[in-house]
Amino acid sequence: MEKRAYDIHAKLNGEISVKIIPGHFATKHSHVSHCIDMTGVKSELGAAKASAKLLADAFSSTPVDTIISLERMKMIGAFMADYLTHSGINLRQEIAVITPELSGDKILLRDNFIPYVKNKNVLLLTASATTGQTVQSGIAGISYYGGTPVGAASIFGGKFECGVPFVSLFGVGDFENYSSYAPVDCPLCKQGVKVDAVVNSYGYSKLV
């Protein structure tokens, strides 16, 4: 499977790249035609800082009190908070970065985390937002706990409406023939094509 992999680079910074593997993959919400391996962006210091800078620049005019980080994005979230506090509307602002528990797709905040969301301007950060369900659920959770959702950001994003500004470093138009389907509608399944791997925020597990 890895022999099919190739790299694509962010348009605004060629030093940021993700690995693309074409095939047939199952995620929590859908079946997709490509696996986007973001391990380097999430794990390597230089890539994480560069990614955080681009995402932070998109929200330099947005008031942010808290960044909610999902899908192992806390390092990027911390760098984003640092960049945001060095310029723009958030200059010298104290910004918290928290990772809530999840119950299914729903954000679950313990009492000690609620003060970082209630009556705060909250930015949602996630690794992948293909269908928009994770982002929409996160925004609903922020509102439920009394926060004001002010934006959402991801490394890879699809096309959807979520009610707040949404930015991503990579999108479905950055490589050819990307497709996403509800599992019951997946044409690859209907053709009898086996699933190559199960994909989540930690990576992928090949199916033998």
E-assigned strand segments in 4-130: 6-10, 13-26, 31-37, 66-69, 96-98, 101-103, 106-108, 121-129
pTM reported for the whole predicted model: 0.92
- Crossing angle of helices 74-84 and 45-57, in 10° steps, is 50
Instruction: Give the span between the Cα atoms of 53 and 38, in whole angstroms.
Output: 17
Per DSSP bridges, beta strands 197-200 and 180-181 are unpaired
pLDDT at 127: 95
DSSP-assigned letter for residue 195: P
Q: Which residues of the chain have pLDDT under 70?
A: 208
pLDDT at 16: 96
pLDDT at 73: 97
118 with 112: CB under 8 angstroms?
A: no
pLDDT at 81: 98
pLDDT at 172: 84
Phi, psi of 45, rounded to the nearest 5 degrees = -55, -50
